[in-house]
Amino acid sequence: MKSFQVTDFNAPLQEVDHPTPQPSGTQVLIKVKAAGVCHSDLHIWEGGYDLGHGRKPLSLKDRGVSLPRTMGHETVGEILAFGPDAKNETGGLKVGDVALVYPWLGCGKCETCLAGDENMCLKPNALGVYCDGGYADHMTVPHPRYLLNLKGLDPITAAPYACSGVTTYSALKKVENVFHTPIVIFGAGGLGLMALSLLKAMGGKGAIVVDIDARKREAAEAAGALATVDGSAPDALEQLTKKAGEPIRAVIDLVGNAKTTQLGFDCLTKGGKLVIVGLFGGGAPWALPLIPIKAITIQGSYVGNLRETQELLDLVRTKHIAPIPVTPMPLAKANEALVDLQKGRLVGRAVLTP
C-alpha cells in the first residue's frame, strides 16, 4: 500500500510503501476512495496550536501524536475484508460496500465512550491523528461499527461529512433553540458552506456569514447565506447588527482566533451563545465583566459523536442536501493540497482520490 506520511513537523509529506495490512481481530480493511483535506490536518502537519498571550504553543507531540503519521480523518472506502472477530458484528455491511469512516475514536472502555461520546474521551485514539488515516490507498478501521454505509452517496462529496459535516451539525444542534432568528457564522470555508446547507435542512431561518476573503463570501452567498460581512471592515459590527435586523442570539465561530471571537461576542444580544469550533489559535479577548453582564454562554464544540454522524447522513439523504464544492486531487498531490489550504487558495474542500 502507498501512503503519504508526516515524518517531521512542518516538513513535506513523504511517500511511503508498506505491505497492505491484513485485518486482524475486529478490524476491517478498506480500499480508500476519497480522503478530505481538513484544516485540522494543517495543525497536525505544523505540530501544534497557538494559545496566545505569550503562552507556549500547545504541542501535538506532548498530546500523544507520534510520528510518522498518515493523516486523513475524512475518509470513504470500499470494504475489502473483515477480521476474523468482525464477521459476526458487521451490522449488515458486506464486502464491496462503500462506507464513510467515523474517525473520532476513544479508548472504547470508559464511561464516556460507553455512553456513545468517544469524541470526548480523555484517551483519544482518532484515526488520522493518533492512528494512521486516509492519506493512503488502503486503511484499516478498528471495528465495523465505525463504518457508515453511504448507500449510493458520492464518495468524493461525502468524505467531508466525517469532519466538516458532523462538526457543523453538532455545533448547529447546540443553538437550534434559536433557529427562528438569523444566526451568525464566522468562516466560509468547507465548514461554513457545510453549515449553511445543514442549517437550511434543519429548519433554520438562515445565517449571516463573516469572512475576510471576498471569494469565500461569494461562495457563501451562492450557498444561500442571508447576507455576508467582511470581518476586516471597520464597521463590521454595525453591518452585522443592521443585516440581522433583530437581536443576534447565536454565533458559530468556525475560525477561532482572537478577532473573530471578539466580534462574535460583541454582536450577541443578552443571553446569547457563542459556539467556538475553529482552532486558528490565540488567546481569549473578552472583558470578563461583560460575560456575566451580557449573560453570554461561551461553549466549545469538538467534532461530533457516532450517533450524530449517522443522523447527518440520514438528513443528507432525506433532505437531498447538495454537497459543498470539492476539488478532487490525486493522492500523489497531498502536499500540494495542504499548501493550497494553508495559503487560502481553496474554496470548499480538497479531496484526495487514490
C-alpha to C-alpha distances, 306 to 105, 147, 154, 181, 313, nearest whole angstrom: 9, 10, 20, 29, 11
pLDDT of residue 346: 84
**pLDDT tens track for 210-249:** 999 999 999 999 999 999 999 999 999 999 999 999 999 9
Identify the structural domains of the chain with CATH numbers, from first to last. 2-162+304-353 (3.90.180.10), 165-300 (3.40.50.720)
pTM of the model: 0.94
Element (H, E) at 17: strand 14-17
Please state the φ and ψ torsions of residue 42, each to the nearest 5 degrees: -65, -40
Parts of the chain with a pLDDT under 50 = none
Record the cell numbers describing residue 34, joined without a space.
476519497
Give the three-state DSSP class for 120.
helix
How many Å apart are CA 114 and CA 322, to the nearest integer?
Answer: 33
How many Å apart are CA 303 and CA 39, to the nearest integer?
Answer: 13
pLDDT of residue 190: 86
pLDDT of residue 75: 98
Record the cell numbers describing residue 233, joined without a space.
471592515
- 16 neighbors 334 (Cβ within 8 angstroms): no
